[in-house]
């Protein structure tokens, strides 16, 4: 299924022309309540997914705080809400009873950062990547993908999964939560505006998210 909506009215603080993740294109998992932090550092091994062989990630080379883990998290937001803290480089998936799954993320470079509220309108496994024309003007080598798109694969900038953010008016914001083959970028400001997770993490998040207006995303700057 492919769906592309161009919008000039964003609910975010970034001009749409700066976005770099335009694309075409589970139910929640129950996690046991715990009083201790659970760190899933052993969840980054090789994975065969839809015929693609994702390599293992040497997470020992990343600060342990960016490894997927269940943490205490006080919030008034209901379970299923996604809260992105761009300053701390964390994404929280809110769980019941004061818990959250926390993922390490990479965020937009200075000048591409954004913030606001949206919802997950839909999600896609192994998405096709269509860079916007503005990116093609900055990077001529990606111009060929504006119309035809880059096919899914291990080098695709969107990685193994993409979650598509729409604003309250039901318009595509052109921003995504997505995977990345560039695991070294986690914890940094390296993307062109979207929020990136390690591929093993975006697969985990994807399986938890149920698209619809009830799945709110809050991006804090």
Q: How far apart are CA 76 and CA 60, in angstroms?
A: 34
> Is 130 annotated as catalytic?
no
Of 213, 220, 198, give the one whose Cα is nearest residue 92. Answer: 220
| Segment holding 137, helix H or strand E | helix 133-138
Sign of the CA dihedral running 148, 134, 112, 13: negative
Place of tokens 């619809």: 212
> Is 21 annotated as catalytic?
no
Annotated catalytic residue, options 21, 67, 130, 178? 178
Q: Are 84 and 105 in contact (CB under 8 A)?
A: yes
Q: How far apart are the first and last CA of the chain?
A: 32
Q: How far apart are CA 91 and CA 102, in angstroms?
A: 6
Q: How far apart are CA 165 and CA 180, in angstroms?
A: 17
Annotated catalytic residue, options 21, 67, 130, 194? 194
Active site residues: 178, 194
């Amino acid at each position: 299924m492919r769906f592309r909506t161009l919008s000039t009215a964003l609910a975010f603080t970034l001009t749409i022309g700066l976005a770099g993740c335009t694309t075409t294109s589970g139910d929640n998992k129950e996690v046991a309540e715990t009083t201790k932090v659970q760190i899933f550092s052993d969840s980054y091994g090789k994975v065969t997914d839809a015929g693609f062989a994702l390599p293992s990630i040497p997470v020992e080379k990343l600060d342990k705080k960016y490894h997927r883990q269940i943490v205490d998290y006080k919030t008034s937001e209901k379970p299923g809400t996604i809260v992105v803290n761009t300053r701390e480089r964390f994404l929280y998936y809110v769980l019941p009873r004061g818990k959250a799954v926390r993922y390490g993320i990479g965020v937009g470079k200075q000048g591409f950062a954004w913030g606001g509220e949206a919802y997950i309108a839909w999600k896609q496994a192994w998405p096709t990547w269509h860079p916007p024309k503005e990116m093609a003007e900055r990077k001529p080598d990606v111009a060929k993908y504006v119309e035809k798109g880059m096919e899914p694969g291990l080098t695709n900038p969107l990685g193994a999964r993409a979650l598509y953010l729409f604003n309250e008016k039901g318009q595509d914001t052109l921003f995504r939560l997505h995977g990345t083959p560039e695991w070294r970028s986690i914890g940094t400001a390296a993307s062109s505006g979207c929020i990136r997770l390690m591929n093993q993490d975006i697969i985990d998040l994807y399986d938890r998210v149920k698209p619809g207006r009830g799945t709110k995303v809050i991006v804090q700057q």
